[in-house]
Structure 1
Amino acid sequence: MIAKGTPFVASYSGGKDSTLALWRAVRAGGKPLALLTMLDETGGRSRSHGILPAVLDAQAAALGLPRISGQASWGDYERVFVEQLGRARAMGAVAAVFGDIDLAAHRQWEEQVCAQASLAPVLPLWGEDRLALVREFVDAGFAARIVVIRRDLMADDYLGRVLDHALIERMLADGIDPCGEAGEFHTLVTGGPLFAKPLALADGDVRADGDYLSLDFGLAASI
C-alpha cells in the first residue's frame, strides 16, 4: 500500500476498480494530485470505457481533482501514457495508483511505464478476492452503472443497470465475474465516498460495436 503523505496520480478509467483503488490510497494517507484518463485518438471518448469527456470532467470536479489526459490509438497508447505520467511527475507525483486486481500482464505493463516515468507503481487491490472487492465497493457506498457490456457474454438488459448486491447475485447465477475482469462489462461511477456530490446524468444513445454494446451517459442538463 502507499505510504502516508505520498503524492500520487491515479490511473482513472471512471469505473469501479480505479475508484476503489483511489479510495484505498486516500484512506491509507496518500495525497492524490490528479486523475489520468486516456482518450481515443479523436479525444471524443475515454479509451477503455467510452465515456464522454464532459462526464469525466464532472467526475473529476466531484472528486476535487484535476484531470490530465492524452489522446492515443492503441498503437501509440504506451508512449502517450508515459508522457502523461511525466506530466504528473512534474506536478509532484512520485507514485501512480492502478486498479488492477490479478492480471499479471497488466501489472507488468504498469511497472514498465512507471519505470519509464520514474514513478513507483501502487496497486492497492492486487491479489485480493474479486467478489470481495466488488462487494466492498458497494458496501462502501459507491454508486455505479454498467456502461459497456459484451453481448456474447452478457444479456443486453445488463446495460445501464445499477451495480448493487442484487445485480452481483444475478451475475453469479449467470456465471459472470462480478468484477468483469475478462472484459464482460465496464462501469461508470456516479457517486460515493470522495465525491462531493453525485453526478447528475441522463441516459443517451445505445451504441453497438461488434460484440460490445455501450450506453452513452451525458450530463443531465445537456441531454
Structure 2
Amino acid sequence: MQPVPILLAWSGGKDCLMALQRLLHDPRWQPVGLLTTVNRTYQRVAMHGTRHEVLLAQADALGLPLLEVMLDWPDGNEAYEEAHAKALAEARMRWPGLRHCAFGDLFLEDVRDYRVRQLGREGWRAVFPLWGEDTSVLARRFVGEGHRAALCCVDTQQLDASYCGRPFDNALLDGLPTGVDPCGERGEFHTLCHASPLFRQPLALRRGESTLRDGRFQYTDFLLSRDAV
C-alpha cells in the first residue's frame, strides 16, 4: 500500500514538529510539504513572530518545501480563508491526489472543529496526529528526544513575561505555574524549534530584543547568526 501524501500546517514550533515526527514514523503517510501563514507586512509567522528567514531555514533543515499563505496586516478572517484556499489549490496542482493536511493541535475542540470545516469546504481532510495525548508526556518526550526550542511569545495574562526567550527544557517545565499547560495549548506561550533529530543541521540563532505588543504579548526575536560556522 502506497503512503498517502499529506501537508503539515507549520508554525515553526514544537507541536507541529512533533506532529511531523509522528507522520514520518507512520507508514500510512508521506509528508510532502509545510504550509505556513506569514504576515506579509512584517515578514513573520502569525502569532509566533518568527522571522521569515528563520522559517525558510527550518524548511531547509527539514528538507521539505514550504508553501506560504501570505497575508497583509490587518487582514481579517475572510481574507485568510481565501488565501488559504488558494494555497491548497496550488498544492493540489503540485501534488496530484493531495487532499490531507495535518495539524499539531492537542485538545482544543473549537480549533479542531474550525480546521475540519475549513478544509472540508475545499474537499480536504484534516489530520491530528497528536490529538488527545497527555501534554505533560508530550512535552517531556520532546525534550528527551533531543529536540530544542525556545519560547518566542508569551501571553502575559497567562504566564510571566520573564519566560519569553527561555529554552523549552525540563527546568522550564518544572517551574511552570499550576494551570499552565506544559505545551502551551491554551495560548500561554509559543515556541521556535532550532534543533532536532529531524533537522539536517541545527539552526544557528542569536537572541535579539524582547518586546511587549498590544499590551499583552511578550515577543523575543531570534535571528539567524550569519557568522556561525
Shorter-chain TM range is over 0.9
Output one character per residue of 1:3-50: Cα deviation in whole Å (capped at 9) or x when no partner: 961111100000011110111011102211111110124251111211
CA distance in 2, matches of 1:183, 1:4: 37
Judge conservation of contact 1:89–1:117 (CA < 8 Å) in 2.
no
Output one character per residue of 1:67-118: Cα deviation in whole Å (capped at 9) or x when no partner: 1111222332122122212222222223111000111111111111221232
Judge conservation of contact 1:43–1:71 (CA < 8 Å) in 2.
no
1:192 paired to 2:191: no
Structure 2 equivalent of residue 168 of structure 1:
173
Q: More displaced, 86-95 or 48-57?
A: 86-95
CA distance in 2, matches of 1:74, 1:65: 29
CA distance in 2, matches of 1:132, 1:156: 25
Can you give the 5+ residue segments of structure 1 that lack an aligned partner in the other structure? none
Report the TM-score when normalising by structure 2: 0.90
Structure 2 equivalent of residue 120 of structure 1:
125
Q: More displaced, 41-50 or 197-206?
A: 41-50
Structure 2 equivalent of residue 182 of structure 1:
186
Judge conservation of contact 1:10–1:34 (CA < 8 Å) in 2.
yes
Judge conservation of contact 1:42–1:71 (CA < 8 Å) in 2.
no
Judge conservation of contact 1:89–1:119 (CA < 8 Å) in 2.
no
Q: 1:214 aligns with which of 196, 200, 219?
A: 219
Q: Give the direction of change, closer, same or farther, for the CA distance of 1:222–1:117 in structure 2 (3 Å limit).
A: farther
Judge conservation of contact 1:4–1:28 (CA < 8 Å) in 2.
no
Structure with the largest fraction of strand: 2
CA distance in 2, matches of 1:180, 1:4: 35
Structure 1 equivalent of residue 48 of structure 2:
49
Structure 2 equivalent of residue 35 of structure 1:
34
Output one character per residue of 1:109-150: Cα deviation in whole Å (capped at 9) or x when no partner: 111122123222110011111111112211221100000011
Structure 1 equivalent of residue 104 of structure 2:
99
State the one-letter code of the partner of 1:201.
Answer: L
CA distance in 2, matches of 1:99, 1:120: 14
What RMSD over aligned residues (CA atoms) do the two structures have, in Å? 1.8
Report the TM-score when normalising by structure 1: 0.92
Alignment length (residue pairs) = 220
Output one character per residue of 1:140-172: Cα deviation in whole Å (capped at 9) or x when no partner: 21100000011222222211111111211111x
